[in-house]
Amino acid sequence: MADGDEAQPKGNKIGDLRYYARFWPFLQPYKSWIGLSFFLLPLMVLTDLAQPWILKLAIDDHIAKGDLSGLPQIAGALFGLVIAAYFLGAAQVYYLQLAGLKALGDTRRAIYRHVMNQGSRFFDRHPSGSLLTRTTTDVESLGETLTMGVVSIFGDILMIVGIVVAMLLLDVKLTLLTFAVSPLLVLVVNIFRRKLREYSVVIRKSLSKVNGYLAENLAGLKVVQLFGREDKSLSEFRTLSYEYMDAFRKSNWYEASLYAIMDGVSNLCVALMLWYGGLRAVAPEHSGVLTVGLLVAFIEYITRVFVPIREFSGKLATLQRAVAALERIFGLLDTHNEIGMGKPEWNTHEFTGSIRFENVSFAYNEKGPQVLNGISFLMEPGKVVALVGSTGSGKTTIGKLLLRLYDGYHGSIEIDGVPLKDIPSDRVHRIVGVVQQDVFLFSGTVRDNISLKNPDISPAQVEEAAKLVGAHDFIQSLPNRYDTLIAERGANLSAGQAQLLSFARAMAHNSPVMLLDEATANIDSLSEQLIQQAIARILALKTVLIVAHRLSTIQQADEILVLQKGVIVERGKHAELVNHGGVYAELAKSNELAGVTNDP
């Protein structure tokens, strides 16, 4: 489950700022809340800075002198500052988180909208686990940054600068001694920052692989069990999980080590300050200059200054994770495999369903082989054309091109004389209804799975479509009929019932063209009879393109196109082709038309 387009760690401060700048449009609608959060930061800092200073005044001016008359006022002021700091902090975090949650919701919607607009090439190159990770885990990393990162780092900087200024005002020499270890501290933090950034990217990559592998094996769980691959699958999953755990463990080690170093440096500074302060206290020339209140205030300031410094290091780690997440998110948003927009004037045009392929050739990628070569045919409204051929002959690829799942073909495809590339893809999907071999049913009611919650499809139209394809009778036998809840992926229905619902879904959306891609492959004979009857009813109303393997389906076609290695080698009606004795006749004789095939 490699994710080939994963972002690599750049360790570049300018690059980091560039990613944050790109994220600003998601925050801009909520800039008033962010601005209020910024406004509250200096007020919070001032309330914190004032507390040690007031404590010094209480000790030196009152307690040391035995004058207790002003202590109640000082105690009241200190209590008021503590309460003010609490409420200011709560308000600051509230407005910041409110803006952050709104921005994260917009980010998730932007990712989802971008992914939904991509063509099939995009999904060929991006595993579902990678897309899931970016929409959930990576966005959550940004949430950590908004609540613990950028804004609060400004508060930490204000706090550090304010404490340094307060300490310098109290005693310059003592302050300089206290921060003598700062250069070493800056070096250590920078080293750890780079390592944390590297492991942040590794963690995201490994988590993406775990999610992708898990999603794939859960989807194919029956295959895993039927072929006895449980132990092998577990072993592979354990290996991927260990890679994720190992990267997380190393990242945690660096983060914990950084915290420990910060605590050690804090204690070292207090020790240096007490040593130097003690020497000065006993020196005759400094008598009365270094007071107990001053020492207490310095210890308070040192304790307070290393809290934001220590948190600053942790927030740097959070910022590194956020930059790695932003690299991946914008890497995804910068990947464009959208199908062409088409021309808006064709959005409201009524199409009858005449389909023309003219000398169409196609390859799934530039370096890959040609899957189709010079395909030409015409489908008139109300006619049925069947595509047959062995596996890999290109039958299903023709359907994918007709549905505009892929662009980049050579030649011309037209609907009612309008080039397919000029018709918006969502309009194409309303023109061409599709029933595929692999049916996907959503968790929800039978009615919702047929209408797909389209408000333009009434309950009466849902039932009419179900009756048309012969699904109404079995739906009526369900516990709650059309309101019966369907389990995930239709687990509580048989394969035939699920396929009938997919037919009903296509009929309910009333497209003039119907594409049946191996649509009868997974159903029993009785269900197939019902579907054949439904197809016969709609032949006069719709153009039908059938990718089929059953003779019972193919025999109804007005024209059969026989494909071999991406080329139409024969065409005609069933009887003509059998009597001709060519490729089609060989397929029929070898029973290949009765087997299930899977084309690219």
147 lies in a domain? yes
The Cα 171–Cα 582 span in angstroms is 102
30 lies in a domain? yes
Q: Give the H/E segment covering residue 564.
A: strand 559-564
The Cα 56–Cα 47 span in angstroms is 15
Distant-in-sequence, close-in-space partners of 193: CB < 8 Å, separation ≥ 6: 316, 317, 320
* Pair 353, 418: CB distance under 8 Å: no
Report long-range pairs for 22-28 (Cβ below 8 Å, ≥24 apart).
22/326, 22/330, 23/107, 23/142, 23/326, 26/103, 26/106, 26/107, 26/110, 27/99, 27/103
The Cα 561–Cα 410 span in angstroms is 20
Radius of gyration over every alpha carbon of the chain, rounded to an integer in angstroms: 35
Name the domain boundary from 298, 333, 368: 333
Task: Kindly state whether residues 384 and 309 are assigned to the same domain.
Answer: no
Mind giving me the DSSP string for 92-127?
HHHHHHHHHHHHHHHHHHHHHHHHHTB-HHHHHHS-
Q: What is the largest CA-CA distance in the chain?
A: 122
The Cα 431–Cα 342 span in angstroms is 14
6 lies in a domain? no
- Other C-beta atoms closer than 10 Å to the C-beta of 318 total 24
Distant-in-sequence, close-in-space partners of 378: CB < 8 Å, separation ≥ 6: 354, 355, 356, 357
Task: Kindly state whether residues 167 and 31 are assigned to the same domain.
Answer: yes
Task: Kindly state whether residues 390 and 466 are assigned to the same domain.
Answer: yes
Name the domain boundary from 309, 333, 357: 333
Residue 391's domain is classified under what CATH number?
Answer: 3.40.50.300
Alpha helices in 220-291 (DSSP H): 221-226, 230-282
* Pair 1, 213: CB distance under 8 Å: yes
Tally the domains of the chain: 2
* pLDDT tens, residue order, the chain (600 aa): 444 444 444 445 545 677 777 888 888 888 888 888 888 888 888 888 888 888 888 887 778 777 777 788 888 888 898 899 889 888 888 888 888 888 888 888 888 887 777 766 666 666 666 676 667 767 777 776 766 666 777 778 888 888 888 888 888 888 887 777 777 777 777 777 777 777 877 887 888 788 778 877 877 776 777 667 778 888 888 888 888 888 888 888 887 887 777 777 777 777 877 777 777 766 656 555 677 788 888 888 887 877 777 666 667 667 777 777 787 788 778 776 666 666 777 777 788 888 899 999 988 877 778 889 988 999 888 888 888 887 778 888 898 888 888 888 889 998 888 888 888 877 888 888 888 777 778 878 888 888 888 888 888 888 888 888 778 888 888 888 888 888 776 777 777 788 788 888 888 888 888 888 776 665 666 666 766 676 666 666 678 888 876 666 677 788 889 888 888 898 888 888 888 888 888 877 765 555 433 344
The Cα 558–Cα 380 span in angstroms is 10
Task: Kindly state whether residues 392 and 284 are assigned to the same domain.
Answer: no
The Cα 146–Cα 140 span in angstroms is 10
Q: How many residues in the chain?
A: 600
What token pair was written down for 63?
């307690």
198 lies in a domain? yes
Task: Kindly state whether residues 195 and 85 are assigned to the same domain.
Answer: yes
What token pair was written down for 244?
């994720």
Task: Kindly state whether residues 56 and 194 are assigned to the same domain.
Answer: yes
- Nearest Cα to Cα of residue 156 among 315, 340, 365, 262: 315
- Nearest Cα to Cα of residue 517 among 553, 570, 466: 553
Task: Kindly state whether residues 363 and 328 are assigned to the same domain.
Answer: no
Task: Kindly state whether residues 446 and 328 are assigned to the same domain.
Answer: no
Distant-in-sequence, close-in-space partners of 355: CB < 8 Å, separation ≥ 6: 378, 379, 402, 413, 414, 415, 513, 543, 545
Task: Kindly state whether residues 319 and 353 are assigned to the same domain.
Answer: no
Structure confidence at residue 7 (pLDDT): 41
8 lies in a domain? no
600 lies in a domain? no
Task: Kindly state whether residues 321 and 357 are assigned to the same domain.
Answer: no
493 lies in a domain? yes
Task: Kindly state whether residues 492 and 392 are assigned to the same domain.
Answer: yes
CA distance readout (Å), 291 to 53, 280, 303, 355, 454 = 13, 10, 18, 95, 78
Name the domain boundary from 278, 305, 333: 333
Phi-psi region of 75 (alpha: psi -120 to 50; beta: other; left: phi over 0): alpha
What is the DSSP secondary structure assignment for residue 342, as one 8-state letter?
Answer: -
- Other C-beta atoms closer than 10 Å to the C-beta of 464 total 15
Structural domain containing residue 563? 345-594
Task: Kindly state whether residues 286 and 432 are assigned to the same domain.
Answer: no
Residue 311's domain is classified under what CATH number?
Answer: 1.20.1560.10
279 lies in a domain? yes
Distant-in-sequence, close-in-space partners of 364: CB < 8 Å, separation ≥ 6: 121, 124, 371, 406, 600
